[in-house]
Structures are given as structure tokens and as C-alpha cells.
Amino acid sequence: MSTSQTVPLRRVAGFRNFWLSRAVSGLGSAVTTVVLPVLVFEESRSPLLVALVAAAGTLPYLAFGLIAGAVADRVDRRTLMIAADWLNALCLGSIPLAWAMGVLTAGHVVVVAFLSSTLALFFDAGVYGFVPDIVGKDSLARANSAIYGAETVVRIAGNALAGGLIMLFRPAGTLALDALTFVVSALFIRAVTGVPRRSAPSDAKRPGFKESIGQGLRFLAGHPTLRIMTVVGTLQSFSGGAIVGQLVVFADRGLGIHGSDGRIGLLYMAWSAGGIGGSLLLPRLRRRFDAFPLLLWVLPVGALLGLVVVLTSDWRVALVALTVWGTAYLIVLVNTMTYSQEVTPAELQGRVNTTRRMLSSGLGVPLGALVASSITVSVGIKAGMATAVIAIALAAVVVWAVRLGGLVSPAPKA
């Protein structure tokens, strides 16, 4: 299927339903991101268990990324996504049920956090091939920008709503609302039209599971441009983990924003709001620049803005720089994902993109948070935040070295 660049995506019924599914589910997940740590601390008073809940968001990519990609490429993607949504609704719904029965434990919450993130991983593995099926590869930049822009908006709204919902329904009761959003998401996915149902290949034609995973790895390793962009994406995610992981400490020690000062919330909102700006700019930029050349200019801009944040002690300057830095960050993130979807054959979408995401989100984000926090403890917050800038600067050096050395040239779209 192909969607003309002149047709607004809101008029494409299949994409409209998919976008609504992501917006509704994203709102519930944003609330749950706040609620789960509150709930597990309420049940256990253990900082370790709170950390485990936070880690549950990325660990599934390291544990099951390759498997999820292979599964998504062997089954009907829409069926996989609907099943993942229904199972996630049951998974999260088990918490308010156990709480109402008086049998909820902190261990139950930790297990649900991990299972819910694992199911979301399998859903995402289906998305990578499903979106090109809906809009066609020519409209991927617009589609991905619309999806990520909506997810950024609802994440801000969900984080803001979480406190009030916890007061009204208690933490466990609030999770019932997120369970409901997964049901709604499944119904919207089911309503997506215009996408042919994929049939699994016969056993005679289908490679073994291990070979299936190997095919995805070989494609990623053998595609020079995509390989370099995966390295760039991992460094970018490393910087994101460092920024978000140290922002509260930076506000306190670097900007003089202490305790419950509301300006801390403004800093987080600035970073997220920058993502909205990036989602609006990317389609326009991709009409003028190819994916790889775009990185040549956006990455140095991101590094420069990061340097401004690290060096300033004025929270207002930091607020503006964080907003524009967040814009550059989102542009790189979605540009890399879009390019990967453009050049990857339809039958390999799940395997290639979950492997790429496993390296970026699964490895880059937690590693960035860990390295930045360690440097902050041993040297200071400025040095800790500087790790994010160094990672982006290194990514910029990589792409410029590749371009000046003529080491890669963009491959044609698959």
C-alpha cells in the first residue's frame, strides 16, 4: 500500500485508527510509569525494588529482542499486536484485582512490570512492519513523526494526570485505567483497514527459528549505512539515559533548583516538548535531505546545545537549550527508525528493527544512566551530564568520518 505525500494521514482510515490506538495506550502507559514505582515502594519501602521496576522498562529488549523480532516476522502482525494488547490488559488488571482481594505483594508488582514491558516489546516488533503496510514507505517520515509526536504529548499529559489519579483511585486502582486503555487499543488495531492479512510461510519454506534470527542479524550487519546509523542511535540513546537519569541532580546541584520546586517539572517538560518540535520538523527535513546527510548537521547541533546546558547555571537558559536539544534528539531518533524501515525488506522488519532497538534502548539507555550516575558520584554533576554531550559529539564524529572517508553510500529503498 502507498499513501500519496499530498494526502493528510488523518484521512487515511487505517492510519487514523492505528494512531488513536497509540495515543490511548500511550496515555495509560505514561500514567503507569509513575504509578508502578509508587505502588511498589508503598508495598515494600524498598529502593531496590523500585529500581527493578524502573529497569523492567528496558530489560525485555535485552532479554527477548531477537526473539520478538523473529516472532513478528513469522506471524500475522495485526494478530500479534491485538494479542499483546489483550494480554497486557489482563496483566495490569491483575494488580487492582489482587489489591481488592487483599493479596497484593511487591513481588507481584515487579513481575507485572516486567511482563507488561515484555508484551509491549512484542507489540512494538509488530509495529515496525505494520506501519509501512498501512501508509507505504514513502510516507514513513510523516507517519512516524505523527506517532512519536502524539506519544510525547500524551506522555506529558499522563505524567501530569498521574498524581491526581493516584489520589482519587489509589495507585492500584489507577492501573485499572491503564488496563482499559489496552482494551481500547486492541479494538482500534482490529479496526485498521486496508492492510492485507499476512499468512505464515509453510514449514517447508520457513527457516528454523535460529536461522530466522540470524537472517535479521546478517542484514543489519551487512548494510553499511544502517549499521553506522545503529551505532549512532545507540550513542544517542546513551545520551538520553544520561540526561534523564541525572536531570533531578543537575537541577539541584547545577541550577539551584531544590526539593519540590516546580521548575524541576518545567525542565522535564522542556525535554519532552522538544520532542514535539522534532516530530513536526522531521517530515519537512526529510523532504529536503536524505536520512544520512541529515545526521551530519543535526548531531553537531545537539552536541552544541548539550554543551550550553552543561555550562550554564541559569535555569532559564537551560530550559531553552533543553527544549531545542530535545528537538534534535527526537529528529535523530525517528530519522534513524524511519530509514531502517525504508531499507529493510518487509519480511525482515521485525527482526532488524527489534535488534536495532535492543542495542539502542535496551543497551544504550541503561548504560548511559549508569555511567553518568557513576561519574556524577566520583567527579561531579557537570561531568556526569557531560557524558551525554560526549556521546552525541562522538556520534557526530562517526558520521562525518564516514561521509568524508566515503565509507558508505545510502542503499536504495527495499
Q: How crowded is the C-beta side of 276, counted as CA atoms within 13 Å? A: 13
More confident residue, 124 or 203: 124
pLDDT at residue 244, rounded to an integer: 78
Q: Quick: pLDDT tens for 257-272.
A: 876 676 877 887 888 8
pLDDT at residue 5, rounded to an integer: 59
Q: Grade residue 412 by pLDDT with cuts at 50, 70 and 90.
A: very low
CATH superfamily placement of domain 9-190: MFS general substrate transporter like domains (1.20.1250.20)
pLDDT at residue 281, rounded to an integer: 92
Q: Quick: pLDDT tens for 341-361.
A: 999 998 899 999 998 988 887
- Residue 147 to residue 197: CA distance in whole angstroms: 22
**Same topology between domain 9-190 and domain 215-405:** yes
pTM: 0.82
Mean model confidence pLDDT for the chain: 87
pLDDT at residue 63, rounded to an integer: 87
The CATH number for 215-405, chosen from 1.10.357.10, 1.20.1250.20, 3.30.70.120, 1.20.1540.10, is 1.20.1250.20
- Domain spans, the chain: 9-190, 215-405
Q: Quick: pLDDT tens for 209-240.
A: 778 888 888 999 899 999 999 999 999 999 98
